[in-house]
Amino acid sequence: MKIAIPLTNNTLSEHFGHCEEFAIYELSEDSTAILSETRQTPPPHEPGVFPAWLKSLGVNHIVAGGMGRRALDLFEENGITVVAGETGLAPDSIIKALQANSLGTDKPSCNHKHGDEHNCA
């Protein structure tokens, strides 16, 4: 399992499209051991870029604080499972919650304020 966590100030970003970097964790098949952790600077954000980029890195799960319906669809089209996480948590806390099966299984939603021209994708 390879998990991407979008970070701002080393905590889960409120909105993945505005993150500074991604923490990428590879977990053992039973999710009990961390096999590797890297940090990746994402390409410039445009709709559809992050899902394809993360897929090219072998990511199959993303933990997100917020994202819109279009982004959810794009991740699913790229074979990446989206899981909601609590913004402000450090990545190691998120991984521990995932390993303990205590991370939310809900889909994240777009919860920040923006103009009508922004579609959260």
pLDDT confidence of residue 104: 62
Q: Is the dihedral of CA 107, 111, 116, 118 positive or negative?
A: negative
Measured CA to CA, the distance from residue 69 to residue 90 in angstroms comes to 25
In this model, does residue 121 exceed pLDDT 70?
Answer: no
Helices (H), the chain: 49-56, 69-77, 91-99
Query: pLDDT of 34-79, one tens digit each?
Result: 999 999 999 998 888 999 999 999 999 999 887 888 888 999 999 9
pLDDT confidence of residue 29: 87
Query: pLDDT of 68-118, one tens digit each?
Result: 888 889 999 999 999 888 888 999 999 998 888 877 655 565 554 444 334
pLDDT confidence of residue 114: 40
Superfamily of domain 2-99: Dinitrogenase iron-molybdenum cofactor biosynthesis domain (3.30.420.130)
This prediction's pTM: 0.85
Residue 25 is encoded by which pair of tokens? 């964790």
pLDDT confidence of residue 20: 94
